[in-house]
Chain A
Amino acid sequence: RKEVEQDPGPFNVPEGATVAFNCTYSNSASQSFFWYRQDCRKEPKLLMSVYSSGNEDGRFTAQLNRASQYISLLIRDSKLSDSATYLCVVITNSNSGYALNFGKGTSLLVTP
């Protein structure tokens, strides 16, 4: 089983739609969680950190469910500029070492 799994998509949605991505992780000892955005042929950039209590940044809401070991990203009122690949990141720092694992990414295409 992979450390971090995401549905690769693609998700094709019209402008203004709400879209949700999920990401599951295998190590229950994982401590830190993030969503990154990567545009075509560009480096990943931080979208938001994910906190246990859930957090919101404008149209974006991230949730963490430790019991079920998944994180989610909700995008409301999708814009054309939201088209990108969304990567979830899980960090584990334990006695067996430090590991930072990315999912494969979920591709989003927002259409007019």
Chain B
Amino acid sequence: DAGVTQSPTHLIKTRGQHVTLRCSPISGHKSVSWYQQVLGQGPQFIFQYYEKEERGRGNFPDRFSARQFPNYSSELNVNALLLGDSALYLCASSFPGTGVQETQYFGPGTRLLVL
């Protein structure tokens, strides 16, 4: 079975532009989460979606938005890019549920550089 896939792998944008990142979960997983990881820090939770509904949101500005599609894939959109948005963006999928079912399976990430 394929793991979590993300595209693109790398991206360079300039300040003020918009970016869309894509994620496909592991087959059978219905929940997708997005994280931002800057160098030297742990991943920061941005969103979790389950069955196309937002289940949770981290402390990120409204420039960040996401959605989940009927096939459980997801997009993360960031508007009006700032230099500080440069980071590794990780997507993770999981079963819905509690406890061990909330294990996050991560994709390889998209490295975004904002110039």
Binding site for B on A (CB under 8 A): 4, 6, 31-32, 34, 36, 42-46, 49, 87, 89, 91, 93, 97-105
Binding site for A on B (CB under 8 A): 33, 35, 40-45, 48, 55-58, 90, 98-100, 102-109
A46: shortest Cβ distance to chain B, in Å? 5
**B interface majority secondary structure:** mixed
B6: shortest Cβ distance to chain A, in Å? 9
**A interface majority secondary structure:** strand
Q: How many A-B residue pairs have CB under 8 A?
A: 60
Asked if B108 and A43 make an inter-chain contact with CB atoms under 8 angstroms apart, the answer reads yes
Q: How far apart are the CA atoms of A11 and B5 in the complex, in Å?
A: 32
Please name all residues of chain A whose beta carbon is closer than 8 Å to the beta carbon of B33 when the two chains form the complex.
100
Q: How far apart are the CA atoms of A4 and B42 in the complex, in Å?
A: 10
Q: How far apart are the CA atoms of A103 and B102 in the complex, in Å?
A: 17
Asked if A91 and B102 make an inter-chain contact with CB atoms under 8 angstroms apart, the answer reads yes
Please name all residues of chain B whose beta carbon is closer than 8 Å to the beta carbon of A46 when the two chains form the complex.
103-105
B84: shortest Cβ distance to chain A, in Å? 17
Q: How far apart are the CA atoms of A104 and B58 in the complex, in Å?
A: 16
